[in-house]
Amino acid sequence: MQNLLSQIRANRWFLALLLAFGLVRTAVADYNPIPSGSMHPNILEGDVILVNRLAYNLKLPLTNIVLARTGEPARGDIVTFFSPKDGTRLVKRVIGLPGDSIAMRNKQLIVNGRAAIYEPAGVLMESTAAGYSGPALRLKEEGLGARAHEILWLSGADNAPDFGPLVIPADRYLMLGDNRDNSADSRFIGLVPRQLLIGRAERILVSAAITENWLPRLERFGKSLYQ
């Protein structure tokens, strides 16, 4: 016991540094590795994203207890949060805000009675864990009162069920993945309570092609997640 106490005293500055890093990561800024393709084409497997934990809430470290609100989520924000279904940490895009009326008809989003506009941006090959392998339509989605961003529709797939119109209650948010036919989002896990929000994803820190050759994708280092 005496030897253990001596080691702690000898390394107290290093231990204090580790504690400070832990507190910063749980309360101020964080990083999040991306393991799946639910946010294609904007975020890829192997990207590591920087998350601003103070974008919306100041929380008691290591908890979901909100001490103060620091900002409001905006439609189009890419957000990390804990799934209300099973607590899994997820990354999706905010589509529905409190008070919004949201619907989807034949893959077209309708926000407060306004239908999204889709501009073709190309075709790419896409594979999913569910076994799909084939072409995907790359589309620019806009006209929803948010930043325009690209999404994917898988050709011939029908994994984006119609829903709504749904009015979003106070302090709840509707999240969708940009890969609309390959995302376990609010269509499957429900609306996300505000206290489960972790933070806003800001940019890609580093990236490696983990589904191919594990080489670094230098062109993605430091890339902003917003156009």
pLDDT value at residue 1: 55
Nearest to 151 by CA among 140, 136, 142: 140
- Asked whether 35 and 25 are in contact (CB, 8 A), the reply is no
pTM summary value: 0.86
pLDDT value at residue 61: 82
pLDDT value at residue 2: 55
In this structure, what token pair is assigned to residue 190?
């429900």
Tens place of pLDDT for every residue, the chain, 227 residues? 555 445 545 544 543 443 444 444 444 558 899 999 999 999 999 999 999 999 999 988 878 889 999 999 999 999 999 999 999 999 999 999 999 999 999 899 999 999 999 999 999 889 887 778 889 999 999 988 888 999 999 987 666 788 989 999 999 999 999 999 999 999 999 999 999 999 999 999 999 999 899 999 999 999 999 97
pLDDT value at residue 64: 85
Query: Residues 83-99, buried b or exposed e (16+ Cβ, 10 A)?
Result: bbeeeeebbbbbbbbbe
pLDDT value at residue 4: 46
Question: Distance between CA 226 and CA 202 in Å, rounded?
Answer: 8
pLDDT value at residue 157: 65
- CATH class of the region 2-103+168-220: mainly beta
Query: Residues 111-133, buried b or exposed e (16+ Cβ, 10 A)?
Result: beeeebebeeeeeeebebeeebe
